[in-house]
Structures are given as structure tokens and as C-alpha cells.
Structure 1
Amino acid sequence: MKIDIRSLVMTLTAPLLALVFAVLVTSIILFAAGDPVWTVWSTIFSEPRPRNIVNIINSSSVLYLSALAAAVGFRMGLFNIGVDGQYRLAAFVAAYVAGQAWLPGALNVLLAVVTAMLVGAMWAGIAGILRVTRGVSEVISTIMLNAIATALVAYLLRQVAMPGSNNITTTPIPESSRVPGIPLVPDAHNEVYGFVLLALLAGFFYWALLNRTRFGFDLRATGMSESAAVASGINVKRMVVYSMLISGAIAGLVGMPLLFGDSYSYGVTFQPGLGFAGIAVALLGRNHPIGIAIGALLFAFLNEQSNALQLQAGVSDEIVKIIQGVIVLSVVIAYEVVRRANNAAEQRKVAQQLAQARADAAEEVV
């Protein structure tokens, strides 16, 4: 197989240019605000300590699952903004089920994980059904479902919370059902979530589903052109529902590393906002499993390194959100520029080949 070096170099250049542009824009903002630009960047890009490396890996695994859930919808041409509500509701139900310890040890973990996937799929499936039966945009329905899920979880949490406790949480998961960490990083006092392996498995499933199955082909074909998919005999309505179910099932896994590796219960302090961060990571990774992994690591790195900004640079860690936002926008623009440049190069190449073929034909006639 012949590799187009020029096209490969341009594709790899796009994210690098986006990162450089994001640093430039953020530096201008910092300078305009009177903040120490060099101190901010030296703090963010300093070498992380072992415990920080563990935190980056743990955070990226959660972001990776969230991005995969969003990416399934993107490949289908759907915009599932409801990942946040889906993972919250799924994590709450899974925490309640695991806390009841109806099954022993690993079986209890398996039951909770399957329950989380079913709940996430069910909640996302509502938006899919509304889309195919009533023509309701999944953007509107998932935004509304996010609000409903937040209110529903708050209500149910009050009903099942342990009495006499200042912290409103579900019943803690028993010791026998907690997933042990992995001592992956030397000299770190904390451990990598055991459910990092779940994120890797989900990434392989996503890749295999899209690239090694008929369903994945139909999904990608429908996402590229719905009219062409209908003409080829694909049941688009069924694909919409199935895609939302799969997206929701993966969204249900987002809270599992945190639940079984850190908090061991669901409470009011359970980490919010993971669904919206996953959308940004999916866009950054171009919906490719490896690209999403790199994007998740980048976002996790920026989040972790921003913790020291307030102390060392006197700057709010919210500046990282600006960096992340500019990176996503820059990547979208950079890839579009690269796409147009590649198309122009291909057109010039074809024009040169046609001109050469005509010249050769003219010489033969003479």
C-alpha cells in the first residue's frame, strides 16, 4: 500500500497548528488581563509528579468513555447532547444496585455495570424514538432530558439516602465489590482505576463496531448521506434508534470508574459536566478511537496541571477552559483548511496528469 506522505504530513500538522494557535490566543488574553504569561505556561507544561500522572490517566479514562458515547452519535449524524444526563442517571441507579449487594463480589459489579448500560440506553432511546416517530430534534430532546435526569436523580437520591448522614449519598458499595486499583506509576501514592481496562475495551468495541461489522458500515453510510442510505435499502429510522441506544449504553459506563474506584457511592458531589467535556474531546479526536484517546489525555493533562495555577501564577484555573475551547475550535478550522488544501492538491495533480496524457496523445498522432 502506497502512503501519500504529503497528505499524511498535512493531516498531522493540523492538530499541531491548532495547539500553537490556542497557545497564541490564550497568551494574548493573559497579556491583556495583565497576568504573567510565561509563568502560566511554565506551570501548565511543567513535568507532572507521579500522583499527577495517575490523576491524568484516571481522568482521561472517564473523558474517553464520555467522548466515545458522543462519537457514536456523531458518526450517525446525530448530536447526542444528553450524555451528561444519561451517565448521571445510570451512575445513580448503578450505585443503588451495587449498594444493595444482592449478589456477591464480582457478580455485584457486573450487575451494576449492566444496569448502568441499560439505564443509559433507555434514557438515550427516548430521544431516538422521539426523533423517528415525531420528528423531534435529538438536540432539543436530549437537552430537555438532561434537565429531567438531573431533577429525577436529585429526587430519588433524597428518597434512598442514608438517614442521619450530613452527606446525601446512596448506600456505600461493600468492600468485596470495589474494583482494586492498578499500581501502574512508580512512586505514586494513588493508583490507576481498575476500570481503565473498561475504557480500553469500550474503545476496541467502538472501533470494531464501526469498521468490522455491517451495522457499522450502515451507520457510517447513513451519517454521510441519509438519502443515499435510503436508496441503498438501509432502514434509517431503525439505525437512528439503535445508534442512540448504543450511545446511551456507552454513556452509562462513564461514571463506573469513579463509582467503583473512588467514591464508592453516588452523592451530591459526584463529578458533573463529564458529558459536555466528552463532546469536546470527541470533536478534538475527529471521532477516531485513537484521536479521542489523545484528546482525552490532553484535556486531562490541562485539567490536572491547572490546579497549581492559583498558587504558583496567581491565575484562576478557569483559563484552562479557554485553552480547551480554543483548541477545539482551532482543530475544526485546521482540519477544514487541510481538507481544502488536499482537495486543491488532488485537483492540480489530476489536471497535470490529464495535460500529460493529452500531450502524449498529440505526439502519437504526429
Structure 2
Amino acid sequence: MTRVRTVLLPPALAIVFAALLCAVALLISGDSPVTALRVMITQVGAGTTAVDIVNSAAIYYIAGLAVAIGFQMKLFNIGVEGQFRVAACVAAIVGGALVLPPVVHVLVIIVTAALVGALWAAVPALLRAYRGVSEVISTIMLNAVAGGLIAYLISTDAFGVLQGNNISTTPIPPSGHVPGISFGDAGTIFGMVFVAAALGLAYGFMLNRTRFGFELKASGESPTAASAGGVDARRMVLVALLLSGAMAGLVGLPELLGRDFAYTLTSPQGYGFTGIAVALLGRNHPVGIALGALLWAFLDKSALALDNVGVPREIVLIMQGSVVLSVIIAYEIVRRYELAAEQRRVAAQLRATPAAPAEVSS
């Protein structure tokens, strides 16, 4: 019961607080919170919104898993943004240049994306493990480098081709596409949605059923104790950041292999930063991250209908931002409450235990 309360209560408190804050903001602006909520819920059943929510949630889920792997070691991989963008760009270049059998073609693109993501994360991993450089600083700097590298790679002087008024990589042939599930006018669910679910299962299995998962969590809780138990702290830093980068490399694939089939100057950005919020909201648990991803996707896609009733869609940004801030506060409140409760239980047990009789010396 305590475990469930510790896991579920903080995100629930954060969402409630964010909803109340948005309600106050709407009332101050003269809009109705009830109307806004009704419109957002109704929008889910309109057009392709429901399918768009599922597709976006899969992308946010992979990004959240990438961040969570680092969080398990108390490593803050802000570089998921740059890692996924470089990986998607290089994977698109490789996928567009090859002609392979359908399944093999897709596997080559996926492996390429994972390897590029891991290699891009290797720089901060090595700097952290061997020089003690903060991964926060190095990954932020590499995000900026990633933007410049991508701009060069998709230029016409490198691998880019002119597509109307846009520049993109060579389109990936049909053998490299991942088919989705069509719902007619309601849209098509990306096939990579199921890959995202499989990644979540693999992440949960790794954490709870493998020695590496145990060492990962132990190193995050207490590096000193883990080292005393024979865990190589340097190796754990390297492996954790490389795995995080490999997972980040897959973030752009649902759209690349299910809709766009090429990387362009206008390809989506920002998923890496969203993954940080989703991982925090889900407290690095595979199920919690999934729920956080669905919530974030719901807020993103259903907010489009707010303009129709005169409610500014920016209210959703207020809610998303307040969720990120309040979830951290809620975790700390619940942690302190559980600690105080544990201290009270120990004190009660000590009072209930009769004192041992003193020995009588002869």
C-alpha cells in the first residue's frame, strides 16, 4: 500500500494542482473551465484526434524511456533532443540510399538510428566517466552542435535534395516503410507504436528482472554502496548513457517510417525536452511513463479545439508547465511524509518492545 501511494500519489497531486491553476487562470480571463474541459474531451472523438494522440504518445513514450534510463543513475541526459534528431537524419539518409528486402530494410534503419544515438551520447558519457564533466553541460552543448550538423547533412551540398520549397533527404523506398493500422477517415496508427510498447516491456524487464537493472538502480541510489558491492561505477555511467542515447535514437522513427519517409528542414523538434517532463511525471516507471505520455499527447492534440470557443490554447502550456513543476514538489512532499511515518512506526515499535532485564553481577 505504501509503495502504491508513493508511486501514484505525487503525479495525481501534480495533475490536480495544475488543473486548479488552469481553472483559476481561465476564470480570471473570463472563460469557463467547464467549457474548456468539455471541448477538449469532445475533441478526442473528432476527426483524427484520437489516432493522433496515440501516435504522439508513442513518440513521447520512447523519449520518456530514454530520459528515464539516465534518471535511474541520477544522470540528466538533456541531450535526447540532439540525439534523436541526428539519429533520425542519418537513418533517413541510410534508408534512402539502400534498396533491401522489406523487413531487412526496416531493421537496418532502426539499428542505424540506435547506433547513431548511442554514438552521439558517447561523447558526454566518456567525459562524465573519465573526466567528471557534468552530462548536463556536455549534452546541452551537443544539442546545439546537432542542429548545425543536421543543417549540413540535408543541404544540397551533402545528402539533401530539393522537394518543392523544402529540402529533405532522399525519400525512403516503400521497402523501408513500417505499415500502420488504418481507421479510414479517423487516421492511421503508426506501426512503430507497437515497437514503443515492446521497448517499454523490455525496459521494465531490464529494471526488475536482470542483474544490470539492479546494479543500475543501486548505483543511482548510492554510488558508494554500489562500488563497495563490486559494481564498476565508471562502467555503469558509460552503459547507462549509451543505452539512453540508443533509445533516444528511436524517437524520430515513428514519424519517419510511418508518415514522412524523409528528414526535412521542417521535421518535428522538441520531443527530447518533452521526454524529460514525461519521465518526471511517470517517475521512471514504464507504466507511469506511458500514462504521462498519453496525458501530454491528449493536452497537445485536444487543445486545438479551444480556439473554436474563444479559449486561448496557451492555457494548455500553463497546465503542462505547472505539471512539471508541481510533480517535483509533490514527490518531495510525499517522500517527507513517508519518512516521517516510517520514523513514527519505528518509534512506536521501540516503545512497545520491553526492555531487557539488566544482568545481576555475582
Q: Same fold (TM over 0.5)?
A: yes
Paired position in structure 1 for 2:252: 255
The aligned residue for residue 322 of structure 1 is 318
Q: Cα gap change, 1:164/1:177 in structure 2, threshold over 3 Å: closer, same or farther? A: closer
Code of the aligned partner of 2:219: T
Aligned to 1:171: 170
| 3-state SS of paired residue (2:15) | helix
Matched, 1:77 2:74: yes
Asked if 1 retains the 8 angstrom alpha-carbon contact of 2:154 and 2:161, the reply is no
SS of the equivalent of 2:172 reads coil
- Mapping 1:189-228, distance limit 5 Å: 189-228=186-225
Match of 1:295 among 288, 292, 295: 292
1:54 matched residue in structure 2: 51
- Of 105, 110, 125, 2:107 maps to 110
Cα distance, 1:312–1:223 mapped onto 2, change above 3 Å: same
- Structure 2 partner of 1:96: 93
In the superposition, relative to structure 1, how do residues 269 and 211 fare at CA in structure 2: closer, same or farther (>3 Å)? same
What is the deviation of 1:112? 0.7
Residues 116-135 of structure 1 correspond to what in structure 2 (within 5 A)? Answer: 116-135=113-132
Q: Deviations over 1:12-46 (max 9, x none)?
A: 34332221211111222233344443332222233
- Alpha-carbon distance between aligned partners in 2 of 1:141 and 1:11, rounded to the nearest angstrom: 31
**C-alpha distance in 2 between matches for 1:138 and 1:360:** 53
Which residue number corresponds to residue 180 of structure 2?
181
Point out the more displaced range, 287-296 or 96-105: 96-105
More deviation in 223-232 or 71-80? 223-232
Cα deviation code 1:38-84 (max 9, x no counterpart):
33222223361162111111000000000000000000110000000
| Structure 1 counterpart of 2:39 | 43
Shift of 1:164: 6.5
Which whole-Å CA distance do the structure 2 matches of 1:352 and 1:130 have between them?
A: 48
Identify the match of residue 311 of structure 1 among 303, 308, 311.
308
Question: Out of 35, 45, 65, which is 2:62 matched to?
Answer: 65
Say if 1:54 and 1:188, in contact at 8 Å, map to a contact too. Answer: no
Mapped to 2, the partners of 1:356 and 1:135 lie a distance apart of: 49
Q: Is the 8 A contact 1:89 1:153 kept in 2?
A: yes
The corresponding residue for 1:345 is 341
Unaligned ranges ≥5, structure 2: 358-362
| Matched-pair contact (CA < 8 Å) for 1:116–1:249 | yes
User: The residue matched to 1:92 in structure 2 has which SS?
Assistant: helix
Q: What amino acid does structure 2 have at the position aligned with 1:20?
A: V
* Residue 266 of structure 2: aligned partner: 269
Amino acid at match of 1:167: N
More off after superposition, 211-220 vs 190-199 = 211-220
The answer to whether the 8 Å contact 2:106/2:175 transfers is no
Tell me: CA distance 1:114–1:326, structure 2 relative to 1, closer, same or farther (3 Å). same
How far 1:9 moved relative to its partner? 4.7
Deviates more, 1:333-342 or 1:37-46: 37-46
TM-score, structure 1 normalization: 0.91
Question: Structure 1 residues 30, 231: closer, same or farther in 2, change over 3 A?
Answer: same
Amino acid at match of 2:178: V
Which residue of 1 is the match for residue 351 of structure 2? 355
1:146 shift after superposition: 0.3
Give 5+ residue unaligned stretches, structure 1. Answer: 362-366
CA distance in 2, matches of 1:230, 1:14: 31
User: What amino acid sits opposite 2:130 in the alignment?
Assistant: T
Report the 3-state secondary structure (helix = DSSP H, G, I; strand = E; otherwise coil) of the residue aligned with 1:358. coil
How many residue pairs align between the two structures?
355
Q: Is the 8 A contact 2:86 2:146 kept in 1?
A: yes
Quickly say closer, same or farther: Cα 1:298–1:235, change in 2 above 3 A: same
Worse-matched range after superposition: 50-59 or 290-299: 50-59
> How far apart in 2 are the matches of 1:249 and 1:300?
23
Which residue is equivalent to 2:360? none
Q: 1:10 to 1:253 in 2, by over 3 A?
A: closer
Whole-angstrom distance in 2 between the partners of 1:6 and 1:277:
29
Going from structure 1 to structure 2, the CA distance change for 1:203 and 1:116 (only over 3 Å counts) comes to same
The residue aligned with 1:364 is: none
Q: Is the 8 A contact 1:76 1:243 kept in 2?
A: yes
Partner of 1:146: 143
Contact 1:86 1:120 in 2 (8 A): yes
Query: Please, what is the CA RMSD of the aligned residues?
Result: 2.1
Contact between 1:39 and 1:313, CA under 8 Å: does it hold in 2?
no
Residue identity in the other structure for 1:24: L
After superposition, the Cα gap between the structure-2 partners of 1:45 and 1:141, relative to the gap in structure 1 and judged at 3 Å, is same
Shift in alpha-carbon separation, 1:161–1:55, aligned structure 2, 3 A = same
Displacement, 1:311? 2.1
